[in-house]
Amino acid sequence: MNGETSALRLRGLTKRFDRLAVDALDLTVHSGEFYALVGPNGAGKTTTLRMVAGLLKPDAGAVEIFGIDALKDPVAAKQMMAWVSDEPMIYDKLTPLEYLEFVAGLWGIAPKTAQATAHVLLVSLGLEPHMNERCEGFSKGMRQKVALAGALVHDPRLIIVDEPLTGLDALSARHVKGLLGERVRAGCTVIMTTHILEVAERMADRIGVIAAGRLVAEGTLDELRRQNGHADTSLEELFIALVDAKAAA
Amino acid sequence: MSSAVTLTWFARHELRLAWREWLAMMTGGRRRRTRAAIIGLIVFAAVMHLPAWAVVGRFARLQAPLDKPSLIVLSATIFLAWALMLSQAIESVTRVFYARADLDLIMSSPVTLPNVFSIRIVSIAISVTGMALLLSTPFVDVLAFKGGARWFAAFGVVAAIGLSAAAFAIAITIILFRLIGPARTRLIAQILAAVIGAGFVIALQIAAILSYGTLSRFAVLTSDAAAGIAPGANSLVWWPAHAVLGDGEALMLLLASSLVLLGLIMAAFSPRFADTAVTAAAHAASSRQAKGARNFRGGSRQAALRHKEFRLLRRDPWLMSQTLMQLLYLVPPAIFLWRSFSDSSTAVVLITPVIVMAAGQLAGGLAWLTISGEDAADLVATAPLSPLRVIRAKIEVVLIAITAVFAPLVAVLAIVAPLQAAITAAGILLGAVSSTAIQLWFRVQAKRSAFRRRQTSSRLATFAEAFSSIGWAATAALALAVPEAAIVSGATTCAIVAATWKLSPKRD
């Protein structure tokens, strides 16, 4: 943890579709922290993050981003964050460079600054040889990297990534993990959902386990072990024990 | 499985796919609507007998031998039907190459590819012919009811021209592949598919304007000049016309030649179908190189959105073909306008509704692409600008594009007839704003690639957009001819747009 203010504060966040997807969730992520949100399928991870990103309206509760009420002033909140979906949404008929130009324009970044950042990002993600090719022929991994570059080009203080490693090859996954790690070291906050528990175990400062729309455990890996009386166990075993316990309850 | 069994099985599979694609087109992909779609289709077919009665009823007593002008008109009508089928067949063939997800599976399976692709060619021919038979049924029914059973021979002619259109479409597409490569073939084939049918009618109109100063295409077909250059009564050119009139021998010859043509095309092109499919797939996997690096643009957030929209519109092949078709429809009125410089013809009034109608339709397509066809909806929704500003930027794109297309025409019109130009401009604005508003009220998040099927997401929006375009076109025409009637027509169109708004889905 690098700071004391909270990057994200959720209070009583609730969302119901056919069933209760997020159940009065309270969650705090500190500034400069790498926070991993893990949970079984349908636990409410993506729904929670979509509400934070302003893509879904909560039925109840509050969302605060760096002290700004994101429900009252969504534009100010969005200025500070970036959202990367598990299904990369980019434009087939634009090149990565054109895409980054568009994203920078949307966030109101000065063209010169944006262009320099875009170039650095494309190089670090291994996309430089393809930066003037239209995205229509790109693989899922390349598209994911373009989307990630788009999220980073406006230098957000909070990055929310939903399953960023899905469909990536080992080298691309390494690029992405490296880039996210660098951002955290530079003071940025990252909130990531993942099914790959090893990644959460290795990269996250704190891990939140969510099941049936509620946070069932939270802390560093050691704290989680202590809380649950499973010394020397892996996150995977802890995760299964926690989720089973929630299901039994 | 033996080879014959495999082929039968594959034929069934292809027909099932064709049926489901058609059903999805009719129902917007919602299975619960299947029954409603079938009932709707039956009602539509029944209702279509009324316009069919009005259009072809008076020709039911036609008997062979026909005079030259009648033969020319009948043959031109059959040729127009053939051109429309050809356009649909080209579209089907392109879809098989570029959009079907099963090519990898088929080509990696242990089947004889030329045989399998022959089945695919036959399937395209059957689906094109089936659709044409369906659409021609009301017309043939009316002719048979009023003129006797001999008119049922027209079904045979429809089948024959359907088969030959499919054969030509396959040959054209594969030859284009060889000549200009997969990337350009996709664009050119889409444009060809869009303009072939309309092109024939428009060419006749242009000829009529240049020769006789009228918009009626029949002026050319029934002219002495056309009769003078037409071949003799026994020429092969008249076979389709003779066959339609019930000449059994001509019908058999027509069907046989179409089947032989399709067979020849299958024999010649089936082995190349696989290569072509591989090339198309390879093209999809590779990327087009854009121009080299250049500096990022500055400007507001809305400017960034507008710039992105214009860039995507310029690169959209479907939109290009649609726009080209709309512009093609504007060619006859433009030539008519040019001709009217030299005389004081009042017929120039006719071009106003054509322009207004085209503007409404084009605005509808553009509005769908910019508002609903947002491929990165999450990105735009998480950007720091209010939804209102996003929508405003997108609407600006539609209106700027419409202005760019229609302003030159209105400017030229203003020199000939200033009042008419003002009314046309108002009609364009009202038509474009109404179509854009309808697309806005019925917006659904979709991929831009779904543009071709945009009408399936809301039939109500599709009909409302068409009626509002027709309404504003009629209002503009009436404003020039009978201003009092224009008030009624304008009020009715406003009521249509208002009712559409009332019926649109509620939003927060």
For the segment B166-198, what is each residue's pLDDT rounded down to a tens digit?
899 888 888 887 787 766 777 777 777 767 766
- Measured between CB atoms, does B507 come within 8 Å of chain A? no
Predicted ipTM beyond 0.85: no
**CB-closest option in B295, B300, B381 to A55:** B381
pLDDT score of B188: 77
State mean pLDDT over A31-54: 91
Q: Is A111 in contact with B311 (Cβ distance < 8 A)? A: no
The residue in chain B having the minimum alpha-carbon distance to the alpha carbon of residue A74 is: B384
Beta strands (DSSP E) in B138-231 are none
Q: Are A239 and A198 in contact (CB under 8 A)?
A: no
State mean pLDDT over B19-34: 68
pLDDT score of A3: 44
pLDDT higher than 80, residue B1: no
Task: Give the gap in angstroms from C-alpha B308 to the nearest C-alpha of chain A.
Answer: 7
Does a structural domain hold residue A100?
yes
Three-state secondary structure readout of chain A: CCCCCEEEEEEEEEEECCCEEEEEEEEEEECCCEEEEECCCCCCHHHHHHHHCCCCCCCEEEEEECCEECCCCHHHHHHCEEEECCCCCCCCCCCHHHHHHHHHHHCCCCHHHHHHHHHHHHHHCCCHHHCCECHHHCCHHHHHHHHHHHHHCCCCCEEEEECCCCCCCHHHHHHHHHHHHHHHHCCCEEEEECCCHHHHHHHCCEEEEEECCEEEEEECHHHHHHHHCCCCCCHHHHHHHHHHHHHHC
Class of residue A4 by CB neighbours under 10 A (exposed 0-12, middle 13-18, buried 19+): exposed
**CB-closest option in B287, B297, B380 to A136:** B287
Task: Give the gap in angstroms from C-alpha B193 to the nearest C-alpha of chain A.
Answer: 22
Average pLDDT across chain B, whole number: 81
pLDDT higher than 50, residue A92: yes
pLDDT higher than 70, residue B263: yes
Task: Give the gap in angstroms from C-alpha A117 to the nearest C-alpha of chain B.
Answer: 11
Domain that holds residue A103: 89-155
Mutate to test the interface with B, among A106, A113, A128, A142 (most CBs of B within 10 A): A106
Does a structural domain hold residue A31?
no
Q: Which of A108-112, A230-234, B290-294, B438-442 has the lowest mean pLDDT?
A: B290-294
pLDDT score of B213: 61
Chain A CB contacts of B385 under 8 Å are 75, 106
Average pLDDT across chain A, whole number: 88
Does a structural domain hold residue A195?
no
Chain B CB contacts of A137 under 8 Å are 284-288
Q: Say what percent of chain B tops pLDDT 70.
A: 77
Q: Which of A197-201, B290-294, B359-363 has the lowest mean pLDDT?
A: B290-294
- Measured between CB atoms, does B508 come within 8 Å of chain A? yes
Chain B CB contacts of A153 under 8 Å are none
Number of structural domains chain A divides into? 1
The more confident residue out of B408 and B96 is B408
* pLDDT confidence band for B64 (50 / 70 / 90): confident
The residue in chain A having the minimum alpha-carbon distance to the alpha carbon of residue B390 is: A106
Beta strands (DSSP E) in B214-369 are none
pLDDT score of B101: 59
Looking at mean pLDDT, say which of B30-39, B130-139, B347-356 comes out highest.
B130-139
Q: Which amino acid is at B266?
A: M
pLDDT score of B279: 66
Per-residue pLDDT reduced to its tens digit, B9-23:
777 877 887 777 777
Per-residue pLDDT reduced to its tens digit, A121-147:
999 888 999 998 888 888 888 898 999
Looking at mean pLDDT, say which of B75-84, B167-176, B270-279, B378-387 comes out highest.
B378-387
Q: pTM of this prediction?
A: 0.72
In whole angstroms, give the CA distance from residue A10 to residue B283: 47
Does a structural domain hold residue A119?
yes
Chain A CB contacts of B375 under 8 Å are 89-92
Counting one residue from A and one from B, how many pairs have CB atoms under 8 Å apart?
A: 123
Q: Is A82 in contact with B382 (Cβ distance < 8 A)? A: yes
- Measured between CB atoms, does B104 come within 8 Å of chain A? no
Q: Is B288 in contact with A133 (Cβ distance < 8 A)? A: yes
State mean pLDDT over B382-405: 93
* pLDDT confidence band for A2 (50 / 70 / 90): very low
pLDDT score of B333: 65
State mean pLDDT over B49-60: 81
The residue in chain A having the minimum alpha-carbon distance to the alpha carbon of residue B285 is: A137
Q: Say what percent of chain B tops pLDDT 90.
A: 25
In whole angstroms, give the CA distance from residue B18 to residue B408: 43
Does a structural domain hold residue A67?
no
The more confident residue out of B319 and A65 is A65
Q: Are A192 and A86 in contact (CB under 8 A)?
A: no
Does a structural domain hold residue A109?
yes
Task: Give the gap in angstroms from C-alpha A202 to the nearest C-alpha of chain B.
Answer: 29
The residue in chain B having the minimum alpha-carbon distance to the alpha carbon of residue A83 is: B382
Residues 6+ apart with CB under 8 A from A36: A191, A192, A193, A194, A199, A200, A203, A204, A206, A207, A208
